[in-house]
Amino acid sequence: MHKFLPVFIVIILFAGCHHEVPILENKIGTDISAEEAEFNASGRAKAVEDETDLWQFFEDSKTGFSLRYPLEIDFGQDLRIESEFVASLGERPLGFTTENATKIRDALAAGKFGKNNLDWPLESSKQVKNLGELSGQDFLVLGRFEICDVAFERKLVFYLNDRQVVLTVVGDRDKILAENPEFFTTNPENCFEAKIWNFDKQKDFYKNLAKGKGSPVAQKWFDTFDAIVATIEFQTPESKTEARGNLESLQGFWTSIEDTKSTVEFSGERKTDFYDGEKVSEEYFKVDGDSLVVNAGVDTIKYSIVAVSPEYLTLLHLPRGNLLKFKR
């Protein structure tokens, strides 16, 4: 559960639950809309403890973990997450086999990286990542198979509930190449005019990043990986029980206390909003402990479940801090 700085919250009249869809920025720190600027300046905005509270939310309920990632990250392209049962891996390329996974899992349980490699790791980048409840492999992949290949991938591999999880954050290849000409060369015979690694300098490239002295785009890619990994949370039996209890308690119709024309229905994992008897929206939702996460198209809207009883429901719209009160 996220902890927030103490603030005074002004109750805003509720009109249709969340009809005002938050505007997602293309890049963190870029210009925002005039409406958003006015809201932030008005004092109605709720302070958050850190930037990650505003990030997008990902949950793998089958494996039992969740994380957050920046708004500008393209999930599936810049950030990839793969989870499979160790027993079902079989024999796959790049060392992704059941045998390798089993040995790596045992090594990580003892706090060691292990001798078995997955993918094509830069040897000097291999380290054990402490995730709190367990450990994972952390390493860079800067190229595969042949001399012409150039890649910028940082990977985390960990094991949870009999599954192997591989998290990959991908850097912007063209921009990082342009920023770091001293680490690259050419090989006209095999690669024409394409820039390729000066393999003797790959270790120095990693050292600069590890010291926080990499080029701007490369360093942001490297540091974003650490920031994402720092948000990983594992579901405990207690949080699962709390989530199940909240999910059951939410089921049914609720009417806004501020605007009785506005109602919401929770049915299974669907949330449907109505206004004056007309359906306004219908979306899937999940309950994560005391958090309500609604998938509204390409956007994700999150609420804190402040209180829920057989008669009343109070939600806190994050991150702005609007209190939404309902009666069954």
- Does residue 262 contact residue 14 with C-beta atoms inside 8 Å? yes
Residue boundaries of the structural domains of the chain? 34-52+236-327, 62-234
Whole-model pTM over 0.75: no
Measured at the alpha carbon of residue 91, what is the angle toward residues 90 and 96, in degrees to the nearest 5?
A: 90
Is the pLDDT higher at 165 or at 5?
Answer: 165
Q: Where does 116-196 have alpha helices with state H?
A: 173-179, 188-191
Tell me the pLDDT tens digit for each residue of 251-279: 999 999 999 999 999 998 889 999 999 99
Is the pLDDT higher at 141 or at 294?
Answer: 141
- Does residue 289 contact residue 243 with C-beta atoms inside 8 Å? yes
The CATH number of 34-52+236-327 is which of 2.40.128.280, 1.20.140.10, 3.40.50.300, 2.170.120.40? 2.40.128.280
User: Residue 298: its pLDDT value, please?
Assistant: 63
User: Residue 29: its pLDDT value, please?
Assistant: 36
| Average confidence (pLDDT) over 4-21 | 35
Tell me the pLDDT tens digit for each residue of 226-252: 999 999 999 876 666 777 788 899 999
**Could you tell me how far CA 236 lies from the centroid of its own chain?**
19
- Does residue 125 contact residue 149 with C-beta atoms inside 8 Å? no
21 half-sphere exposure, CB direction, 13 A CA radius: 12
Alpha carbon distance, N-terminus to C-terminus of the chain: 26
d(CA 326, CA 303): 14
- Select, from the ranges 19-33, 56-70, 160-174, the one with the highest average predicted confidence (pLDDT): 160-174
d(CA 101, CA 136): 12
d(CA 194, CA 2): 46
Q: Is residue 49 very low, low, confident or very high in pLDDT (cuts 50, 70, 90)?
A: low
Tell me the pLDDT tens digit for each residue of 142-162: 999 999 999 999 999 999 988
299 half-sphere exposure, CB direction, 13 A CA radius: 13
Extract the runs of DSSP E, i.e. beta strands, from 135-288: 135-141, 153-160, 163-170, 184-186, 195-197, 233-234, 252-256, 262-267, 270-275, 278-288
Closest CA to 324 of 110, 9, 82, 85: 9
| Average confidence (pLDDT) over 34-59 | 64
Residue 302 has pLDDT above 80, yes or no: yes
Tell me the pLDDT tens digit for each residue of 97-153: 999 999 999 999 999 999 999 999 999 999 999 999 899 999 999 999 999 999 999
Containing 239, the helix (H) or strand (E) segment is helix 237-250
Residue 77 has pLDDT above 90, yes or no: yes
The mean predicted confidence, pLDDT, of the chain is 85
Q: Which token pair is 307?
A: 């209180």
Could you give phi then psi for residue 232, rounded to 5 degrees? Answer: -60, 130
Here the contacts of 139-148 (C-beta below 8 Å, separation 24 or greater) are 140/206, 142/197, 142/202, 142/205, 143/197, 144/94, 144/119, 144/120, 145/120, 147/187, 147/190, 147/191, 147/196, 148/187, 148/190, 148/191, 148/194, 148/196
Could you give phi then psi for residue 50, rounded to 5 degrees? Answer: -155, 170
Residue 51 has pLDDT above 90, yes or no: no
User: Residue 118: its pLDDT value, please?
Assistant: 96
Q: Is residue 208 very low, low, confident or very high in pLDDT (cuts 50, 70, 90)?
A: very high
- Select, from the ranges 208-212, 293-297, 312-316, the one with the highest average predicted confidence (pLDDT): 208-212
User: Residue 114: its pLDDT value, please?
Assistant: 95
Q: Is residue 38 very low, low, confident or very high in pLDDT (cuts 50, 70, 90)?
A: low
